[in-house]
Amino acid sequence: MNAPHPPKLPLRLPLNWDNQFHQLGAAFYTQIAPQPLPEPYWVGRSPSAAALLGLDAQALAAPELLQALSGNLPLSGSQPLASVYSGHQFGSWAGQLGDGRAILLGEANGWEIQLKGSGLTPYSRMGDGRAVLRSSIREFLCSEAMFGLGIPTTRALCVSGSDQPVARELLETAAVVTRLAPSFIRFGHFEHFASRRQHAELKTLADFVIDRFYPDCRSTPTLDGNVYASWLQAVVQRTAVMVAHWQAVGFCHGVMNTDNMSILGLTLDYGPFAFLDVFDPGHICNHSDPHGRYAFDQQPEIAHWNLYALANALLPLIGRPALAEQALDSFEPTFKRSYQQLMAAKLGLQAAEGDEQLPVLIRDTLAMLAQDRVDYSIFWRRLSHARVSGPFEPVRDLFIDRVGFDTWLLRYQELCAQSEKGPEANLMLKVNPKYVLRNYLGENAIEAARHKDFSGVANLLTLLLAPYDEHPAFEALAGLPPDWASQISISCSS
C-alpha cells in the first residue's frame, strides 16, 4: 500500500487577498477545495493576464503555481467555493445549476480567480466536474483574443493539462483553465434567489454588485431615482454594448443561456463559440442548437430576452414593473448606437447622429457579403488597406458579383470623400483585425497540444493579443481558411 502523502504547505504568492464574495455568507455558495489534477503540465500561460495580478512571466511559470492552479497545492489566502445559481437554458427555466465544475479561489488584487474544470462540486448534477483539453484551450485563447480585440470579457491566466482520461463523445483528457474577472456573478445568480422568493439574499447580492461595480446608480436621478431600476438600466446598456461588439467583429457565442450572462456585461463561458469565416448572418455555431436559437443574427434579440429574465428577477427590488420596462427599453437604442459606431469605424467613416446613409450602407455591405459568402474578417482587412493606400482590386477579387461590388464601391467612395480629411481611414487598420480565432486555427493548435506540442497555443496567443498588428512570420494564419474548416462541428460537450 502507498504511504499517505505528507500534508503540503500552502503556496504563498505576493497577492492581496480580499475574498469579498466569500464574505456574502453561506447562502451564496458551498466551500469546496479543487480536486487534484494528476501530474499536471502547462498548456498555455498569458503573461498579459498575469500582469493584472502583478505577477511577471517568471512567477507565472513557477512549478508550484502549476500545482496550485491544478488543485494539488493549497494557495495561501484563498477560500475556495462553488457558487449557486439558476437560469434559463435555450429559453426554458432550468432550475438550479451552479458552479458544477468551476471553483472560485477568492479575490486577489481586485480580481476573482476561478478554476474551471477543477472537479466535482455540490452543483455538478450529472457532470464529472471536469473540462477537456480541447474546450480549455478554446476558452483560454478566446478569452485573451477578445481582450486583444477590445471586447469586454473574462480573462484567462493559464491552462494546465493532465493525461487523466475524461469521457465525452470520445475519450479525451482533462484540463483546468484559470480565469480572472472582477466578478463572475451571472444573471442566473439573481434568478436563483428570485425564483425561491429569497428576497433578502436577492437584495444582498444586488447591493453587493451595485456598491462594487455600479456605485453611480445610488445617486442618479434617472428612473425616479430607483436605485435598482437604474442599475438594471446600466446592466442593459453594458450588455447591449458587449453584443454590439460581437456583431461587429463577427463573433457567435453559441450558448447565450442566462447562466452564461455576466452581470458586468463581460463575454462569459467560451463553449461552442465561433468567429465567422464567410459572412452568414444565420450561422449556427453550436451543433446542439438545431433550431438556431443562438444563431449569429439572433444574438441581440436573445440578449434582450435574457435581460428581460433578469428584470423579472429584480422586480421584487424595483417594485414598479413600469420602471423595469423603461430600463429594458434602453437596450435597442444603446445597441443601435454602439453597433453603428463600431461599423462606421470598420468602414472608416464618421458616425453622425441622424445620418441616414450610414445605416443603409452597413445593411447593403452585409447583404453583399452574405450573397457572395465572402470571408468576413478578410473583407474588412483588405478594405482597410485599400482605403489607406489602394488599390481596391484585392477587395473586388473576393466577390463573384463584380458589377454589384463596383456599384457598392462607387457609393462607398462618395461617402469616403465626404470624410476624407478625418483620421478614420488610418484607424481602419486598428479596428479591423488581421487575426481572429477561427475554429480551424484553434483545431490545429489543439491537435498539436494533444501530442504535447504547445507551440501552436503560444503562437496563437501572441497573435490574438495583438490582432491588429502585422506578424510577418504568421502571414498564413491570416489567410482564407482551408476547405475542411467549414466541416468543423462544435457541440456543447466540453
DSSP character at residue 130: B
Diameter of the chain measured on Cα atoms: 81
- Residue 128 interacting partner from ligand ATP, Mg ion, none (CB closer than 5 to 8 Å by kind): ligand ATP
Q: Which of 127, 225, 333, 422 binds ligand ATP (CB under 6 A)?
A: 127
Question: How many other C-beta atoms can be found within 10 angstroms of the C-beta atom of residue 12?
Answer: 10
- Residue 432, C-alpha cell as written in the block: 479591423
112 binds ligand ATP (CB under 6 A): no
Beta pairing class for 29-31 and 81-83: antiparallel
- Residue 99 interacting partner from Mg ion, ligand ATP, none (CB closer than 5 to 8 Å by kind): ligand ATP
**Residues of this chain, 204-223, that bind ligand ATP according to CB under 6 A:** none
**Residues of this chain, 267-306, that bind Mg ion according to CB under 5 A:** 269
128 marked as part of a ligand binding site: yes
- Dist CA 14 CA 488 (whole Å): 43
Pick the stretch among 65-73, 107-115, 266-274, 474-482 that binds Mg ion (CB under 5 A). 266-274
- Dist CA 494 CA 486 (whole Å): 20
Closest separation in Å from C-beta 391 to ligand ATP: 45
DSSP assignment string, 330-368 = THHHHHHHHHHHHHHHHHT----TT-SHHHHHHHHHHHH
- Dist CA 13 CA 85 (whole Å): 30
Q: Which residues lie below 8 Å from residue 149, measured CB to CB, with a gap of 6+? A: 245, 249, 433, 436, 467
Closest separation in Å from C-beta 96 to ligand ATP: 9
Residue 327: phi and psi, rounded to 5, are -60, -40
Please identify, using beta-carbon distances, which residue of 155 and 346 lies nearer to ligand ATP. 155
Query: What is the torsion angle, in degrees rounded to the nearest 10, for the CA atoms of residue 470, residue 476, residue 479 and residue 482?
Result: -160
Residue 412: phi and psi, rounded to 5, are -60, -45
The β-bridge partners of 81 are 31, 104
- Residue 43 interacting partner from ligand ATP, Mg ion, none (CB closer than 5 to 8 Å by kind): none
Pick the stretch among 3-11, 251-259, 289-297, 316-324 that binds ligand ATP (CB under 6 A). 251-259
Closest separation in Å from C-beta 471 to Mg ion: 32
Closest separation in Å from C-beta 9 to ligand ATP: 30
Please identify, using beta-carbon distances, which residue of 156 and 217 lies nearer to ligand ATP. 156
- Residue 135, C-alpha cell as written in the block: 474546450
Distance, first Cα to last Cα, the chain: 35
- Dist CA 26 CA 81 (whole Å): 10
Q: Which of 44, 99, 217, 477 binds ligand ATP (CB under 6 A)?
A: 99
Q: Which of 99, 259, 277, 280 is catalytic?
A: 259
- Dist CA 340 CA 336 (whole Å): 6
Please identify, using beta-carbon distances, which residue of 99 and 112 lies nearer to ligand ATP. 99
Pick the stretch among 124-132, 280-288, 365-373, 477-485 that binds ligand ATP (CB under 6 A). 124-132
Closest separation in Å from C-beta 105 to ligand ATP: 14
Query: From the centroid of its chain, how far is CA 441?
Result: 18
Tell me, yes or no, if 259 is annotated catalytic: yes
Pick the stretch among 127-135, 220-228, 316-324, 334-342 that binds ligand ATP (CB under 6 A). 127-135
- Residue 98 interacting partner from ligand ATP, Mg ion, none (CB closer than 5 to 8 Å by kind): ligand ATP
Secondary structure of residue 319 in the 3-state scheme: coil
Please identify, using beta-carbon distances, which residue of 257 and 432 lies nearer to ligand ATP. 257
277 binds ligand ATP (CB under 6 A): no
Q: Which of 280, 278, 288, 277 is nearest to 254 (CA)?
A: 288
Please identify, using beta-carbon distances, which residue of 248 and 264 lies nearer to ligand ATP. 264
64 binds ligand ATP (CB under 6 A): no
260 marked as part of a ligand binding site: yes
DSSP assignment string, 48-82 = HHHHHTT--HHHHT-HHHHHHHTTSS-BTT---EE
DSSP assignment string, 305-317 = HHHHHHHHHHHHH
Closest separation in Å from C-beta 173 to ligand ATP: 14
25 marked as part of a ligand binding site: no
The catalytic site residues sit at 259
Residues of this chain that interact with ligand ATP (CB under 6 A) are 97-102, 116, 123-124, 127-130, 255, 257, 259-260, 269, 271, 494
Residues of this chain that interact with Mg ion (CB under 5 A) are 260, 269
Q: Enumerate the known binding-site residues.
A: 98, 100-101, 116, 128-129, 179, 186, 260, 269
Q: Enumerate the known binding-site residues for ATP.
A: 98, 100-101, 116, 128-129, 179, 186, 269
